[in-house]
Amino acid sequence: MSLLIDFENIEQKCADAVEKKEYNDLVAACKKANKIFIIGNGGLHFVANHMATDLSRLLPDKAVYSFESVGFITSNANDHGFANMFVRWLETMALVENPEDCLIIGLSCSGNSSNVVKAVHWAEEHGFGSFMISGQKSQVLNEGLNELVFDCEYFHTVEVMCLIVFYDLIHQIGSHCPSITEEKKRMAYSYHRNLKD
């Protein structure tokens, strides 16, 4: 049996993506930022959540956030409209920060997700570092705003590429992703592993 799903030669697409000037710009922006906010819809919402967890855990001296509160999502979508949902979150979370220390990263398969684009534009207008990672080139992003485009046909390819690129970013910034074997060795001597029930 072979895979039936098309990942569009994902390894080559990732190799091409990290060769782009925009990827180098993203690495530099992440190195500079002390706090990073990642936003996306649908599957990319969970990619943002996953990567906020691992970037925070594996990058020393950086705090990385994603949008997790269902209550905040539903109340603000109801009160301010779905298109303003991420802007409201950033107004709540990021405005208390020094904009020069922060980076807002938007994820969008089409590049045109209205609430993500609106939030990235808001970030740019308020002096925050801003970046978009898109499956296809945005048709609505402000000219000159940083955008890394994957040139993909399928949503699933974009979602998996985002994970791969974020994990590479950890290495580019100077940290690394531990192997399962490394982690098992480290945990073998952990106080928590040796506790008896």
How is residue 163 written in tokens? Answer: 């994970």
Of 10-24, 27-41, 57-71, 178-192, the one with minimum mean pLDDT is: 178-192
Q: How confident is the model at residue 186 (pLDDT cuts 50, 70, 90)?
A: confident
Judged against a pLDDT cut of 50, whether residue 64 lies above it is answered with: yes
Q: How confident is the model at residue 37 (pLDDT cuts 50, 70, 90)?
A: very high
Which CATH number characterizes residue 86's domain?
Answer: 3.40.50.10490
73 domain residue, yes or no? yes
How is residue 3 written in tokens? Answer: 């895979």
57 domain residue, yes or no? yes
Judged against a pLDDT cut of 50, whether residue 71 lies above it is answered with: yes
> How many structural domains are present in the chain?
1
146 domain residue, yes or no? yes
* 3-state class (DSSP) for residue 124: helix
What is the pLDDT at residue 197?
47
Q: Which domain holds residue 61?
A: 10-188
**Cβ contacts of 1 within 8 Å, gap of 6 or more:** none
46 domain residue, yes or no? yes
Judged against a pLDDT cut of 80, whether residue 50 lies above it is answered with: yes
197 domain residue, yes or no? no
Q: How confident is the model at residue 103 (pLDDT cuts 50, 70, 90)?
A: very high
166 domain residue, yes or no? yes
- Count of positions (residues) in the chain: 197
From residue 107, give the alpha-carbon distance in Å to each of 7, 9, 111, 120, 188.
18, 21, 8, 10, 37
196 domain residue, yes or no? no
Closest CA to 52 of 115, 44, 176: 44
Concatenated DSSP letters of 140-188: SSPTT--EEE---S-HHHHHHHHHHHHHHHHHHHT--PPPHHHHHHHHH
1 domain residue, yes or no? no
Separation CA 190–CA 88 (nearest Å): 41
* Average pLDDT of span 143-165: 97
* Average pLDDT of span 147-157: 98
